[in-house]
Amino acid sequence: MRKICALLTIAFLLCQCGNGDGFATYVPGPASMVTRTQALASAYAYTQVRWKPFTKNILHGSDADGIFVQTPDLSLQNPGPGRGYWSPDQEQISMPYQWGGFDTPKTFLGKIRDGYAAGDVATQAKKQAGDAAVSRHAAGVDCSGFVSRCWRLARPVSTAEMPAVTTPISWDDLKPGDILLTKGHVILFDRWLTHGSNLVAYEAGPLPAWKVSCNHFSVKKLLQRGYAPRRYLYIIEPSS
């Protein structure tokens, strides 16, 4: 699977994708079809984005619209869960987390060159404000925007809206490209390390840093945090 994902990364980076606006309400339309291999190829591509930030991409304060932004660079203070990780003039790998972000690798790189803030961490104030706290002057992707991109959706589907486009499944039935969903966060299942107890999944922040990463998870801890497995309604299963 890893070799397949790597081969498909270039195709994803060249893909022209639709634009979305923060936490726009999901409106049912033509079903977006995606294979499990395509979903994981997209996830892998986000972790491989190479970019070089500059001081112009740092913002800890209000943007041009008056929306408070906190980029996850090393000067970030009191970030809560997760931590700042990037420094200006040093090449980075993987796209940073942005509250309400829905960038593709291509749009993200263009915004960084244009001086957008590189990421915007989630705070309690942003969670309370919802899409009113999404900055038009920051670049990156958040957890639901990331999964929406991996499923090739034309617009971001928030964590609150994901039950409308998914169906519950059992833990034993988890397959690559399924999700683990809890209130306010979602992760994309990759594979089992130890079936039923430990797994590997992709997520856009907050741990271990505010960026897209592939991490190990304990099912016991996920259950304690309220995560439940779900499957995208229009995922294409491999031919038997």
What is the per-residue pLDDT for 23?
A: 27
Contact criterion met (CB below 8 Å) for 77 and 151: no
What is the per-residue pLDDT for 173?
A: 97
Q: For residue 14, is pLDDT > 50?
A: no
Contact criterion met (CB below 8 Å) for 73 and 84: yes
What residues contact residue 132 under an 8 Å CB cut-off, 6+ apart?
none
Q: For residue 27, is pLDDT > 50?
A: no
Contact criterion met (CB below 8 Å) for 193 and 144: no
Q: For residue 9, is pLDDT > 50?
A: no
Residue in 8, 82, 16, 19 with CA at minimum distance from that of residue 44: 8
Whole-structure pTM value: 0.87
The answer to whether the Cα torsion of 50, 190, 206, 20 is positive or negative is positive
What is d(CA 200, CA 193) in angstroms, rounded to the nearest whole number? 7
Give 102-130 pLDDT, tens digit per residue. 999 999 999 999 999 999 999 999 999 99
Residue in 191, 183, 175 with CA at minimum distance from that of residue 232: 175
| Weakest-pLDDT range from 5-14, 75-84, 171-180, 202-211 | 5-14
Q: For residue 16, is pLDDT > 90?
A: no
The structural domains of the chain, with segments of one domain joined by +, span 51-141, 162-236
Angle at 5 between CA 4 and CA 11, to 5 degrees: 100
